[in-house]
Amino acid sequence: MFGFTRYYLSDTSCQMTDLLPVVVVHGGAGIIPKERLQLSISGVCAAVRTGYAILKGGGSSMDAVVETVIQLENNPAFNAGCGSVLNVKGEVEMDAIVMDGKTLASGAVSAVRNIANPIQLARLVMDKTSHACLTAEGANQFARSMGIEEVPQESLITEYSRMRWRKNLAPDANPVESQMGKAGTVGAVAVDLEGNVACATSTGGMLNKMEGRVGDTPIIGSGGYADNQSGAVSTTGHGETIMKITLARLILFHMEQGRSVEDASDLGLACMQSRLGGLGGVVTVDPQGHWAARFSSKQMSWAAAQRDIMHYGLYTGEHFTQSIN
């Protein structure tokens, strides 16, 4: 499907000066079943085109990451929006976060139901309330007050998600194996033409989770963080371990100490693995437009767009490029 040139991730951070704008997207870290590999990589590539077009047209980094993630939420290949994994009762509960690096404004929702695009609701929390996060029925009530149409639960559930749910309910189920087959959390980071950074992350959470479980995604500093003084990060992986080390903020701390986007991302992921045994992945940018897509899991679908070139990959050390046009 894609024509490509092979590179390696050490080339990811350009040293050019005309690096803006840039958008980087992930489709979730983990183990992606063979039959879903092409769906995952084509999905992130299509989404990154959307975000890049907004940025090239002079749009804000916030507009770019939100619209990019909306496209991924609408794609049933990912664990967000339509395609979200199911909780132990066979229901969809979703989390999302946005953060604006210029003002540190942030909005998040957790455990929301019947909402096609939780990332849109998270942005409304940021723009229309004095709060940082709304949860469960309160978030749904706010959505209704904002005119967001509720959708039937069944419209968010795919046959693939239901199959994984049933398989994990079996008495002899291997929870680790079941989690390996789940679709991926989605996220994006961007820097616009004015040098403002933003992040957005959205997820259906953990497969067969307890009802009411909230993971890292809507937690500021864990599922994402954006600050014009350092950069922006969107995370994916095992939520409980990401929360314990506040992965997104930890990576930006390393960048504030002078580390590159790649080194800082690797240090944060290494800390999570060494301290807690947790695997995951991140997409990271700094305000100058240097970016990285790094992960400690077997796979993470990712794509980036910069200087009219699309970059993408799936395995460690893999980096393909082609013209964005």
Q: Contact at 8 Å (CB) between 205 and 83?
A: no
Nearest alpha-carbon partner for 51 in 242, 283, 219, 295: 283
Query: Is 100 one of the annotated binding-site residues?
Result: no
Q: Is 236 assigned to a binding site? A: yes
Question: What is the arrangement of strands in the sheet containing 133-135, beginning at the earlier edge strand?
Answer: 5-7, 319-323, 309-315, 299-306, 22-30, 186-191, 197-203, 94-100, 106-112, 133-135
Whether 238 has a binding-site annotation, put simply, is yes
Handedness of CA 89, 108, 184, 44 (dihedral sign): positive
Question: 232 near 110, Cβ under 8 Å?
Answer: no
The verdict on whether residue 216 carries a ligand-binding annotation is yes
**59 labeled binding residue:** no
Q: 246 among the known binding-site residues? A: no
Could you tell me the two tokens for 245? 């080390």
d(CA 85, CA 1): 28
Phi, psi of 162 (to 5 degrees): -65, -35
**Distance separating alpha carbons of residues 138 and 115, to the nearest angstrom:** 13
Residue 112 structure tokens: 């929301």
Q: What letter represents residue 257's amino acid?
A: Q
Task: Please tell me the number of Cα atoms within 13 Å of 144 on its side-chain side.
Answer: 10
Closest CA to 273 of 250, 302, 291, 293: 250
Query: Which residue out of 185, 246, 284, 321 is catalytically annotated?
Result: 185
Backbone angles phi, psi at 221, to 5 degrees: 95, -15
Active site residue 12: no
- Please indicate if the annotation marks 43 as binding a ligand: no
Per the rule left: phi > 0, alpha: psi between -120 and 50, beta: everything else, 158 is beta
CA distance 168 to 82: 20
Residues acting as catalytic residues: 185
Binding residues for substrate: 213-216, 236-239
Binding residues: 213-216, 236-239
